[in-house]
Amino acid sequence: MALNVSNAYRPRIGLTTYYQEAAWGVWKADAAILPGTYVEAVVAAGGTPVLLPPIGTDPTVVELLDGLIIAGGSDVGPEHYGAEPHEMTRSQPGRDTHDIALTRAALATGLPLFAICRGAQILNVALGGSLIQHIPDVTPGSAQYQPAPGVFGTVKFTTRPGSISGRLLGERASAPCYHHQAMDRIADGLCVTAAAQDGTVQALETTAGGWVLGVQYHPEQNPEDLRLFKGFIDAARTYRTERTENLVDVQQHV
Please check whether residue 93 lies inside any domain of the structure.
yes
Domain residues for 148?
A: 12-252
**Is the pLDDT higher at 139 or at 197?**
197
Question: Active-site residues: which are they?
Answer: 117, 218, 220
pLDDT beyond 90 at 108: yes
What's the whole-number mean pLDDT along residues 141-147? 84
pLDDT at 30: 95
Please check whether residue 60 lies inside any domain of the structure.
yes
pLDDT at 205: 98
Please check whether residue 22 lies inside any domain of the structure.
yes
- Tens-place pLDDT, residues 157-167: 999 999 999 99
What's the whole-number mean pLDDT along residues 77-101? 91
pLDDT beyond 90 at 125: yes
pTM of the entire predicted model: 0.93
Please check whether residue 217 lies inside any domain of the structure.
yes
Model confidence band, residue 247 (pLDDT cutoffs 50, 70, 90):
low
pLDDT at 245: 76
- Tens-place pLDDT, residues 11-20: 999 999 999 9
For helices 118-126 and 93-109, what crossing angle results, to 10°? 70
CATH number for the domain spanning 179: value is: 3.40.50.880
What's the whole-number mean pLDDT along residues 96-123? 97
3-state SS assignment for residue 138: coil
Q: Report how many domains make up the chain.
A: 1
Model confidence band, residue 88 (pLDDT cutoffs 50, 70, 90):
confident
pLDDT beyond 90 at 244: no
pLDDT at 80: 94
Please check whether residue 73 lies inside any domain of the structure.
yes
Model confidence band, residue 2 (pLDDT cutoffs 50, 70, 90):
very low
pLDDT beyond 60 at 250: no
Please check whether residue 226 lies inside any domain of the structure.
yes
Please check whether residue 1 lies inside any domain of the structure.
no
Of 254, 140, 124, nearest in space to 191 by CA: 124
Spatial neighbors of 47 by CB under 8 A, at least 6 apart, are 10, 11, 12, 13, 66, 67, 229, 233, 236
pLDDT beyond 80 at 248: no
What's the whole-number mean pLDDT along residues 181-193? 96
Long-range contacts: 202-211, Cβ < 8 Å, 24+?
Answer: 202/155, 202/157, 203/120, 203/157, 203/159, 203/163, 203/164, 203/165, 204/115, 204/120, 204/123, 204/124, 205/163, 205/164, 205/165, 206/107, 210/110, 210/112, 211/112, 211/113, 211/164, 211/235, 211/239
Please check whether residue 3 lies inside any domain of the structure.
no
pLDDT beyond 60 at 23: yes
Model confidence band, residue 186 (pLDDT cutoffs 50, 70, 90):
very high
- Tens-place pLDDT, residues 33-70: 999 999 999 999 999 999 999 999 999 999 999 999 99
Model confidence band, residue 3 (pLDDT cutoffs 50, 70, 90):
very low
